[in-house]
Structure 1
């Protein structure tokens, strides 16, 4: 771009005196300073200023062959001469701007596609190799600064895995990293888990149990979450590694909600009666929702045999000889509570749900 400015002040201004002088020059066919001064009733000095203004505006130009004699030029020709170069410059700039915008906008599809791929790569990783997954868990655990949250569904734990996990947990606790473990109630009768919990709670870890845990979850510093792969066949499932802040924050809220409703687990110090009652209510609730024994057992982290033993004990406590009668008594005694009973449901409807479950 040249150094010329596109402001109106650079072109000069046509005031009333200059306009009148121009009209007289057109009438006379030329601009004579003395005649213009006389016609306008101004001094020749003022007429000289007007002459300079009209010349700047290209409304006066020297006559060919007579450079000292000025003649008026038509306004359209003067305007073309005055602003033509600037208009050409503007057109050139507009073309340049349009070209640059076209080139830049051509990159938009690639930008959004690669940003989507980058965000997906940064926010989520699918780790199918169990060895790689364990290495990532160990690395996150070693780098963890503040807190580890875990949720582990199921009943009895593998004794060797619990023994291997103990020194890692103790090391983190001694580094000042908080640990929260959330299990299901059924682990309370597992000796390997009880030994592990006794060791880590002695160093400041917190452990709670609840009737149901949605799924496995491990969260480090509320920044990175590990979730299990779903619908995997033919191999041991890996994990999804989540780093997207909003999703990690949501998972932490889900965890906090489950944690708030769970019962502290201190081996040897818990109230077994409260846990047993909680399990009983959970079994009754799942039965009333229409789940078979196998699903009830899976949801509560126990074997089918143990689940059926609990069901038999419930029937005995309810003085029932059949599932139908158990359902009637549950409804009559209000054991499900307002949160579990369908609004306005008759006792027979709940009884029917429980009685209709298969036992195979």
Structure 2
């Protein structure tokens, strides 16, 4: 049911009924309304006398009619119509002024809270240094939010002496974060500080991140990529580590044993990572590795959304890679593709490069290298790279011709057994 004429709505503004609208229109047309003309207006608009009086009260409450002095010779009062915009300004001016005062008070309180927060956050380095002196064996502290993390990170980076290690998870990074970090990282490199960063392979396909990495590499930074890396981690001078914490904060690690563990994990990933190449063909170097990783995950039955999240790519890109792998392997399902890849040895990750052998521990000269493999059919040397589909087995023939000749001369075990039975004499003499 609608509100009666003159009732106020949720906003406190009187709601007008149809009778009030008709009376307002009549007044605008005739430029004014008097008590004597109210009956005439009701008759011309088709409303009753009672409705006309209620409509008049509604228009007065809504400030759509304004009382003006009567002209000479006219008894009583006279009402003049007011535009809706002017009526709204007159009706809501007090409430609008009160609301503006409340907004200003809230802004003042918010500014005071932020100033107090910044003042307390500025004491965080003092607190951490005091904790370090009180607990020289190492501590683990928690930063509550990103503002405290930024303050501490700026101070730690500025006081760095030797090396900064960075590990970043994700296929792309926010442009604003890259723009903020680039001057700080370049200034760090100009001071002669070594900077090593581990990214995911997917960052090579994101243009802003690739441009950021190329600037750092040109300035002397070392960047490598892996299919998967640890979450956000920063290690400074092998003495302090920052790990992500919820919500938006960070853990500050100074405990020696935990730092040693994190350094060992980082060095292991660094040894298996691929150096970041620049140029137009930089993305082609890791395409095969990403597909091999996806195959390994398919063989384990991992779902597409989990694969996309772990590799730092979008779900759409992940499904496109899976579709291409299914077509390449001739598989009709994800499970079948995983089985085929497992049988062909395509799910094995490439071995990490062997560590350099020290000069004093080098192998003696008496150790001879293994002889080069030769063709099984003709004995010729095998080509360095065999053609055909990768099956994980070494090549045995130097050419398709030798392979065909060997297959034609090969007999099945059943045929060889039958031939042996017919050619060899029987050991038992026939019965008399």
Normalising by structure 2, report the TM-score: 0.48
- Partner residue in 2 for 1:178: 194
Moved over 4 A (4+): 118-122
Tell me the number of residue pairs that the alignment of Structure 1 and Structure 2 aligns. 219
**Residue 219 (1) aligns with residue 235 (2):** yes
1:298 corresponds to 2:309: yes
Is 1:190 aligned with 2:206? yes
Q: CA deviation at 1:197?
A: 1.1
Please tell me the root mean square deviation across aligned C-alpha atoms, in Å: 2.2
Q: Which residue of 2 aligns with 1:147?
A: 163
Correspondence 1:250 to 2:284: no
| Alignment CA distance shift 1:136-1:338 (3 Å) | closer
CA distance in 1, matches of 2:283, 2:325: 16
Partner of 2:6: none
3-state DSSP of counterpart to 1:218: strand
1:40-55 alignment, distance < 5 Å: none
How far apart, in 1, do the equivalents of 2:191 and 2:265 lie? 27
User: Corresponding residue for 1:18?
Assistant: none
Shift of 1:204: 0.7
Displacement of 1:122: 4.9
**Runs (5+) with no aligned partner, structure 2:** 1-130, 352-432
How many angstroms apart in 1 are the aligned matches of 2:207 and 2:151?
A: 27
Q: Deviations over 1:170-196 (max 9, x none)?
A: 101011111111100000011111111
Is 1:324 matched with 2:345? no
Matched-pair contact (CA < 8 Å) for 2:240–2:253: yes
Q: CA deviation at 1:251?
A: 0.7
Corresponding residue number in structure 2 for 1:157: 173
1:135 pairs, out of 134, 151, 155, with 151
- Cα distance in 2 for partners of 1:320, 1:237 equals 43
| Gap change, CA 1:119 and 1:269, over 3 Å in 2 | farther
Distance 1:119 1:292 in 2: 46
2:273 alignment partner, one of 243, 262, 265: 262
Cα offset, 1:305, TM superposition:
1.0
Aligned-pair distance for 1:201?
1.0
Within the alignment, does 1:239 sit opposite 2:255 as a pair? no
Aligned-partner SS, 2:243: strand
Alpha carbons 1:184, 1:211 under 8 Å: kept: yes
- Higher Cα radius of gyration: 1
1:84-120 Cα deviation digits (max 9, x unpaired)? xxxxxxxxxxxxxxxxxxxxxxxxxxxxxxx9xx649
**Contact 2:299 2:339 (8 Å CA) reproduced:** no
Q: Cα 1:133–1:223, aligned 2, differ >3 Å: closer, same or farther?
A: same
CA distance in 1, matches of 2:153, 2:170: 20
SS of equivalent residue, structure 2 residue 219: coil
Deviations 1:18-44 (A, max 9, x none): xxxxxxxxxxxxxxxxxxxxxxxxxxx
Contact 1:211 1:282 in 2 (8 A): yes
Cα distance, 1:281 vs. partner? 1.2
For residues 181 and 349 of structure 2, what CA distance do their matches in structure 1 show?
A: 41
Deviations 1:308-334 (A, max 9, x none): 111111111112222233133213322
Instruction: Provide the residue aligned with 1:45 in structure 2.
Output: none
Cα deviation digits, residues 122-151 of structure 1 (max 9, x gap): 511111221011110111000001111000
Alpha-carbon separation, structure 2, partners of 1:331 and 1:136: 47
Contact 2:137 2:255 in 1 (8 A): no
Alpha-carbon distance between aligned partners in 2 of 1:290 and 1:266, rounded to the nearest angstrom = 32
- CA separation in 1, counterparts of 2:230 and 2:148? 25
Structure with greater helix share of residues: 1
For residues 189 and 141 of structure 1, the distance between their equivalents in structure 2, rounded to whole angstroms, comes to 28
Q: Is 1:205 paired with 2:221?
A: yes
